[in-house]
Amino acid sequence: MTAHVREAANQDRFAAETERFRRELFAHCYRMVGSVHDAEDLVQETYLRAWRSYAGFEGRASIRSWLYTIATNVCLTALEPRRVRLLPSGLTGPYDGPDRPPSHITPGEVSWLEPLPDRWNAPPADDPATTVVARESLRLALIASLQHLPARQRAILILRDVLAFTAAETAKILGTTTAAVKSGLQRARARLDELAPAPEELLEPTDQRARALLDGYIAAFERSDAGLLEQVLRTDATLEATPFRDWYAGRVTCIHLLDTYVLGSPGDWQMIPTTANDQPAAAVYTRNTDGALRAHGIVVLTPTATGISRVTEFHEPALVGMFGFPDTLAD
């Protein structure tokens, strides 16, 4: 067998053994860094490093734990020089100053969290309980809270509580001791309890009530009808949008802001339903000065049995393409 043939055979074997883990590794990297774009790059780096060391792997561990070792350490290295990815609510309290449009943040001043298209999620696991934990761990509020943990604590918490690696396996992945893992997990859980919002019983995106809330929110924008927002937002709803510093609490405040500064005229907005972070979402288009409906960003809703509790909008046109939608819509 020639060297070229052996190389091709090794590549085929490597792909057969590792490709089935790509999507769950992507979700892992996303949890770690809070950015779909960065997670893509980190998964690519993971597979590049895995291929380079594949010849020496020799099955000393499971292929899955070996890949997670590489991916986790790739993420930790990438996180060393980077700022925390945030949402506006991670910067300050809700705005309660004089009536004015939201204030922008200077480009580059803050690294913003990004939403995750559900079509990129790992396929469901065989164990329903494991599937539920994995899905809930991708919800936007938790991803935002995770970014505030020190990187190694974040890794420990994800490996132990989301991916169900044992303390010994986690210690091996991180090159540390079991005692250090247990201590780090305790601190991470305590910090997350401080950071995470009060637990809510969220509706699944497939629940008819969740879809009705999404449809109502979309209709409010497309018809420029603030009254429809009254029907779908909870009295304690919050509203935030990147790249704005200000965010808002309370249905009355949120509706006033949207009605005064955002809704415009009927036809100025159009939205396409989708899902993100296991939550109802929509690709958002706005009418440009040339009359065309152009990509504006992604909005993610937090639906509960009593209405939408949080609206999080990402004003980044490139995200619309990432969710598989076109840059421009025809009327």
Calpha distance 99→260 (Å, rounded) = 10
Structure confidence by residue, pLDDT tens digits, 147-186: 999 999 999 999 999 999 999 999 999 999 999 999 999 9
* The pLDDT of residue 83: 78
pLDDT at 128 over 60: no
Write the pLDDT tens digit of every residue in 63-113: 999 999 999 999 999 998 877 899 999 999 999 999 999 998 988 889 999
> How much is the pLDDT for 56?
79
pLDDT of residue 232: 98
What kind of architecture, by CATH, is found in domain 3-84+127-195?
A: Up-down Bundle (1.20)
Mean pLDDT of the chain: 91
Q: Delimit the domains of the chain by residue range.
A: 3-84+127-195, 208-329
- Give tens-digit pLDDT for 280-330: 999 999 999 888 999 999 999 999 999 999 999 999 999 999 999 999 998
- What is the Cα–Cα distance from 236 to 52, expressed in whole angstroms? 52
In the predicted model, is pLDDT for residue 60 greater than 90?
no
Residue 14: predicted pLDDT:
87
The predicted structure's pLDDT at residue 121: 75
Q: Which pLDDT does position 131 carry in this prediction? A: 63
**What's the confidence (pLDDT) of residue 123?**
57
What pLDDT is stored for residue 122 in this prediction?
59
Q: Is the pLDDT of residue 40 over 80?
A: yes
Domain range 208-329, its CATH number among 2.30.30.90, 3.40.1190.20, 3.30.70.20, 3.10.450.50: 3.10.450.50
| Res 5: pLDDT | 56
pLDDT at 195: 84
Q: Kindly state the tokens that stand for 233.
A: 């937002």
Percent of the chain at pLDDT exceeding 90: 77
